[in-house]
Structure 1
Amino acid sequence: MAGVGPNLECRMYEAKYPEVDMAVMIQVKYIAELGAYVSLIEYNNIEGMILLSELSKRRIRSVNSLIKVGRIEPVMVLRVDKDKGYIDLSKRRVSEEDIANCEERYNKSKLVHSIMRHVAETVSIDLEDLYVRIAWPLYRKYGHAFEAFKTVVTDPDSVLDQLTYQVKTTGPDGKEVTEVLPAVTPEIKDALIKIVRRRMTPHPLKIRADIELKCFHFDGVLHIKDAMRRAEAAGTKDCPVKIKLVAPPLYVLTTQTLDKDQGISTLSKAIVACTEEIERHNGKLTVKDAPRTVSERDDKLFQDQLEKLRQDNEERGGDDDSEDEDETGMGDVDVENAGFDV
């Protein structure tokens, strides 16, 4: 018969119950006549209730339009009866600021919880014991264990080697003795470092901007090339800028960086440099989409778009008549096929 594994259920925070006037993340379980019964996700799914009168500031015409079974969202704590285990909550009293703060805290806590649960399962220890030894002390010291784990990625010893916990034992004389032990054993430390580094090592963000670049000057293609060089020169070692032709006169500027604000700022400077250079030769730069982060899905759609354009160009086989070129001027010359290294 297989042995019983470790208990992997535990609340995220040291306090068993939330404080009054605190925003918490809940999941709706079912809706009754008096209100909605929910589980408090951060507190090991203990039950709470939102009265119908606390669902909305406006007159309620349809409960289902305000709250749905299975939905996860922040609400405000109104009352906590620790003796009876009653928790009254409100949806209508939670502000936009409360929602933002709650979601940020919850997303960090959810990642910490996932890491702790994985470690507990790996080393076969109860999850609450692991929280008592590691996570809750880190919450107290760093404000949030997430912040401590960010340091663990690069300097685990400074965070983990300082943690201790107390064990009460009976001495030879029969008296109770309190012994202070390292909270993190070599086995736990090895598992925790591996999982934290895998889950929390930052990945570069891709920042992108879409522009139109035209120049009707006699040497327009050369001036576009110079403007593109100016744009790329605005990049840095940590935030290099690349510019690529999509289809005349549309270009995209991209960079990859760990710092979103730095990436957006760098692309903005690149656009300014490119604009200054092309306008010196009576050209024009138009920003179609300002610098912003793009997801892997966005990037794949963009690559698919490029591939479709390449196929369309191959099918046309260079049979476009000259009238189109006259309408758009030198800004429509295909820089990629004009011998330029872009």
Structure 2
Amino acid sequence: MLLQQDRWPEPSELVLCTVTKVLPHSVFVSLDEFGKSGLIHISEISPGRIRNIRDYVKEGKVVVCKVLDVREDRGHIDLSLRRVSDNQRRKKVNELKQEQKAEKIVEFVCGQLKKEFLPTYKEIMAGLKTHGERLYPFFQDIILDKAKVADLGLDKTITKALDDIVRQRIKPPEVSIEGTFKIITYASDGVLLIRSTFEQVLKDTEAEVYYEGGGRYHLRVNAQHYKDAEKSLKELTDTITEQASAYGTAVFERAA
């Protein structure tokens, strides 16, 4: 479940969409978070020439798009698929998963107190406006004692129950440090060797890696504290660089 927002998306905002209709030179989508429709022109599907648009999208496919233009008077939203990076796509999907988790917490509390979910949720979101538009970051601020459920102006019964469940189910936000490995190898099985290196080194860690293309691998290290993330990043990059030297060269460039 993902409840829809009662507003129009902003230009440059990333939005979750479901493809509803594919034409030879354009794609119609529904904006799942807003209950509105939008259009992606073929030039905004992917870089380069597109011979068959259906090689990239089909009805029912869920995609993350960037809002290019919004014309509320015409009910028109222009979107781009090609201007969303893999990293942005992952972050958006993760953000929505977190928001769904926050909604489930509210739903659980309503079930405990025999309250109707939708009116309660709307009351919470109305009180949330001074803190932003997303519920999950607000719940994280509660864990960090940067915000209080009482700030929402709910009755005392809901306030206490919600505070208790949030503290049970929400984890403190993590620190992330990222960078990119450029790995060069001329070994015939180089791809397998690189994959094996990452699998061995990153096993049982909070780090993530994905292939960017052109021999570049994006590495992200997550930790509760910045110093821990720094220490983990150095240990991992040193080990990967050393192992990669057996079949090529690896150079790590940290993200700004």
TM-score (normalised: structure 2): 0.57
User: Structure 1 residue 41: deviation in Å?
Assistant: 2.2
The structure whose Rg is larger is 1
User: Structure 1 residue 75: deviation in Å?
Assistant: 0.8
AA partner of residue 259 (structure 1)? Q
Whole-Å Cα distance in 1 between the matches of residues 129 and 242 of structure 2? Answer: 45
Whole-Å Cα distance in 2 between the matches of residues 102 and 75 of structure 1? Answer: 10
AA partner of residue 265 (structure 1)? K
Is residue 39 from structure 1 mapped to residue 30 from structure 2 by the alignment? Answer: yes
Whole-Å Cα distance in 2 between the matches of residues 140 and 94 of structure 1? Answer: 29
User: Structure 1 residue 50: deviation in Å?
Assistant: 1.9
Q: Is the 8 A contact 2:144 2:172 kept in 1?
A: no
Partner of 1:186: 156
Is residue 265 from structure 1 mapped to residue 255 from structure 2 by the alignment? Answer: no
Partner of 2:250: none
Whole-Å Cα distance in 2 between the matches of residues 60 and 267 of structure 1? Answer: 40
Q: Residue 60 of structure 2 aligns to a residue in which SS?
A: coil
Assess, with a 3 A threshold, how the Cα gap between structure 1 residues 99 and 131 changes in structure 2: closer, same or farther: same
In structure 1, runs of 5+ residues without a counterpart are 1-7, 165-183, 205-249, 273-285, 290-342
Q: Residue 157 of structure 2 aligns to a residue in which SS?
A: helix
Deviations 1:179-229, CA, capped at 9 Å, x for gaps = xxxxx223322442344234313699xxxxxxxxxxxxxxxxxxxxxxxxx
Assess, with a 3 A threshold, how the Cα gap between structure 1 residues 100 and 136 changes in structure 2: closer, same or farther: farther
Counterparts of 1:4-23 in structure 2, within 5 Å, are 10-11=3-4, 13=5, 15-23=6-14
Partner of 2:152: 163
Q: Is the 8 A contact 1:255 1:267 kept in 2?
A: no
Whole-Å Cα distance in 1 between the matches of residues 82 and 234 of structure 2? Answer: 40
Count of residues paired in the alignment: 201
Whole-Å Cα distance in 2 between the matches of residues 89 and 254 of structure 1? Answer: 39
Q: Residue 162 of structure 1 aligns to a residue in which SS?
A: helix
Q: 2:16 aligns with which of 25, 36, 57?
A: 25
Counterparts of 1:1-342 in structure 2, within 5 Å, are 10-11=3-4, 13=5, 15-33=6-24, 35-43=26-34, 45-95=35-85, 98-99=88-89, 102-103=92-93, 105-120=95-110, 122=112, 123-127=114-118, 129-141=119-131, 144-153=134-143, 155=145, 159-164=148-153, 184-201=154-171, 259=224, 262=228, 265=231
AA partner of residue 109 (structure 1)? E
AA partner of residue 27 (structure 1)? T
Deviations 1:1-56, CA, capped at 9 Å, x for gaps = xxxxxxx8732x4x51101232212122342445323221222x432222333312
TM-score (normalised: structure 1): 0.45
AA partner of residue 94 (structure 1)? V
Q: Residue 141 of structure 1 aligns to a residue in which SS?
A: coil
Q: Is the 8 A contact 1:253 1:267 kept in 2?
A: no
Q: Is the 8 A contact 2:127 2:151 kept in 1?
A: no
Q: Percent identity among equivalent residues? A: 26
Q: Residue 24 of structure 1 aligns to a residue in which SS?
A: strand
Assess, with a 3 A threshold, how the Cα gap between structure 1 residues 9 and 77 changes in structure 2: closer, same or farther: closer
Deviations 1:56-107, CA, capped at 9 Å, x for gaps = 2321122222123333322122333334533232213335675465445434
User: Structure 1 residue 149: deviation in Å?
Assistant: 0.3
Partner of 2:213: none
Assess, with a 3 A threshold, how the Cα gap between structure 1 residues 70 and 190 changes in structure 2: closer, same or farther: farther
Q: Is the 8 A contact 2:149 2:162 kept in 1?
A: no
